[in-house]
Amino acid sequence: MNTLVPMKVLPGWPAASYSGFHVFVLCFLAPIAVAVLFALIGHAPGWLRASRHEEVEAEIADPEDSAAAPTPEPPQHAQLS
């Protein structure tokens, strides 16, 4: 049993045994893997825009064929007189 973080179970339940590797994966590697996943998801649109821009400059892609959705027009507000 780990002395820094005591693992207690309910009375009548079998004693829990955690290996050091299991605790290390759950406490360190899993959060780092989730953070890397979110970072990749967050940076993916920028990378796609950059590669699209490079393809248009190299005349590989058609500049009129936009992969991005058109920007919506701002809403028009009623004017009170």
* For the chain, domain boundaries: 18-63
Average pLDDT, the chain: 79
- The Cα-based distances of 62 to 46, 65, 71 in angstroms read 19, 5, 19
31-48: per-residue pLDDT in tens?
999 999 999 999 888 888
CA 43, 46, 50, 52 dihedral sign is positive
pTM: 0.50
For residues 6 and 76, give the distance between their C-alpha atoms in angstroms, rounded to a whole number. 61
Compute, in degrees rounded to 10, the torsion defined by CA atoms 48, 50, 56, 59: -100
What pLDDT, on a 0 to 100 scale, did the predictor assign at position 65?
64
Q: What is the pLDDT of residues 17-76, one digit of tens each?
A: 778 898 899 999 999 999 999 999 998 888 888 877 777 777 776 666 655 556 667 778
Amino acid (1-letter code) at residue 10? L
